[in-house]
Structure 1
Amino acid sequence: MSAVSLLRRSLRLRLHPHLHLSPALFRRHGRSLFTSSLLAASSDLSLSPSHGAIPRGLRLPHSLLFPRFASSNVSGDENLKRVIDSEIQCAHESETHGREVDVPENFPFEIIDSPGDQAVFLKRDFAGENIQVTVLMNFDEQNDMEENDEDDEDDESNESSMEPGISLVVTIDKGESSLLEFCCNLNADELEIESMVIKKRDDPDDQGAYQGPEFSDLDENLQKALHKYLEARGIKSSLFDFLHEYMLDKDEREYLTWLKNMKEFVAK
């Protein structure tokens, strides 16, 4: 056992001489025994405003009270601050920093973009329906495509496929007992419907409800009709260019804010 361990063990035993008592005895007399042991130990304590209560003759060395690795922690913090500052500077120097994305004319949705949120929400009223679209950038899809195309020599042919896709959750609400929800993937070529479910308004997360067959297993004519149903409400592939640019801009804004928040935390 090291000298440091012996010192700490000796200190604990002198401060609390009854800690070796059996659990049953401690439960029976715990409060009074523990209080009396502390009172007994306190008579042998040398109080110091700088070091606290330490028994006479058992003063710990200064190097043990203040470990040397504290200085390495400080240097690590400073290094992190420098890296964060560098990232913030790069974000500010980006070609797209501060650029505003123009909303297309006749864009049918109201855009709800709250700082700090990962998603953007689109809302509109259509023929008595309340339509809400949750928009998320799917960067995982981009990474998967980059890995699959890593060994491909034709970079130009894969350039568009490496763009991140967009995930949409479309909720159509008629103010009745049920909601219609579509989960879609949007890319430069098409709007792909992954699933379509009818949910209860008062229990939208009901896992026991029948969800219907897989969308890809539906009759082809039914699939086409559902695509046209969404298109009539403004959910179509032509949204991709604007939403793609908008979500990339949002990601840059959120990343910069995230860096600044981290810098503020580390600096405290």
Structure 2
Amino acid sequence: MSLRTLARFAPRALARAATTSALSRCQRTSSILSARPSSFLRTQQVSAFSTSVFRRAIAGEVDEEVSAKLASEIEFENDVKQNEPLPASIKDFMDNSPWKIEDVAGKEDVILTRTFGDEKITVSFSIADLHNYEPDMMEDDQAMEDELDDIETGRSPQDQRGGAADLANEANEDLEAGADEAAVPVRLNVVIEKPNKGALNVEALAQDGAIVVENLYYYADPKLAHSSDANAVHAAQDTYPGPPFGSLDEDLQILMERYLEERGVTQQLALFAPDYMDYKEQKEYVAWLQNVKGFIDA
């Protein structure tokens, strides 16, 4: 995930903390009011429904602040867009690949289509993978704990403190250096159709510049290979899926990977998909900001 995306998520955590603080203040105020005489409460209840308060509520006192904040976010995103060139992987793919890109504004899915002889090939992926991605830090945490244990058992207390601090600093530096380099894996749904012959459906991951095949299915009805229809999804679940791809003969796995490469499911696509997913997410985010601002201003 890009640093820009991470930067957007950080203020949300602060907002939740502020909300929790505000709620606690409200709870304290509520407890104070409950301890006061009932006459005071009756006075407050009557004033709460005054005409002036009602008019202010209709006017929307926060609308202008929300609109201004949204405008600031839009301006920031546009400035970032102007200063960031289109990734080379996207430009190269658009200029030199046989794929046609179908990217509908407001939709999460991106669809690539092409023909190969009498075959119709479709590759789809979704920006939802970017929102749902949660890096698995357990292995890194365990490695860090093991190194700290080695330091504690092999050094004096003073050296232990220095060694642990050095190790923590080194880990932080590695994290900062690689924050914008770690690519979110993209799930690809590849469908290869032949007239009157059904379809092959390949589920794969595009990650670190490589295509990793996870599952391979065959459907006599090509509709079952496309997951957009609920009836097709249900029917596909009743179809024998075939063995796990990793359990196939290694030579067959290699040949199937070459089969996909000949049809354009290549390293070029593996580099394009994660970058385009991030690029599209930014476009959709700016459009979302503009739509929300237009609603607030109306």
Partner of 1:92: 78
> What is the TM-score normalised by the length of structure 1?
0.66
Say whether the 8 Å CA contact 1:172–1:181 is kept in structure 2.
Answer: yes
Q: 1:219 aligns with which of 246, 249, 257?
A: 249
Partner of 2:240: 210
Task: State the Cα distance separating 1:148 from its structure 2 match.
Answer: 7.1
| Higher-strand-fraction structure | 1
Task: From the CA coordinates, give the structure whose radius of gyration is larger.
Answer: 1
Task: State the Cα distance separating 1:79 from its structure 2 match.
Answer: 2.7
Q: 1:120 aligns with which of 91, 103, 110?
A: 110
Partner of 2:271: 241
Residue 84 and residue 223 in structure 1: after superposition, are their counterparts in 2 closer, same or farther (change >3 A)?
same
Partner AA of 2:272 in structure 1: F
- Structure number with greater CO (CA < 8 Å, separation at least 6) is 2
Task: State the Cα distance separating 1:75 from its structure 2 match.
Answer: 2.4
Gaps of 5+ in 2: 1-37, 40-45, 142-167, 225-231
Gaps of 5+ in 1: 4-60
Partner of 2:43: none
| Higher-helix-fraction structure | 2
Partner of 1:31: none
Structure 1 Cα separation of the partners of residues 217 and 102 of structure 2: 24
Structural RMSD (CA):
3.3
SS in 2 for 1:170: strand
Say whether the 8 Å CA contact 1:142–1:162 is kept in structure 2.
Answer: no
Partner of 2:150: none
Say whether the 8 Å CA contact 2:130–2:278 is kept in structure 1.
Answer: no
Task: State the Cα distance separating 1:62 from its structure 2 match.
Answer: 9.3
Q: 2:258 aligns with which of 198, 211, 228?
A: 228
174-183 or 118-127, larger mean C-alpha shift:
174-183
Partner of 1:164: 184
Partner of 2:135: 144
Residue 157 and residue 79 in structure 1: after superposition, are their counterparts in 2 closer, same or farther (change >3 A)?
closer
Q: What are the within-5 Å matches in structure 2 for residues 1-268 of structure 1?
A: 64=49, 66=51, 68=53, 71=56, 74-96=60-82, 99-100=85-86, 101-104=90-93, 105-137=95-127, 138-140=129-131, 142-145=133-136, 152-153=171-172, 154-155=174-175, 158-159=178-179, 162-176=182-196, 178-199=198-219, 200-201=221-222, 203=224, 204-205=232-233, 206=235, 207-268=237-298
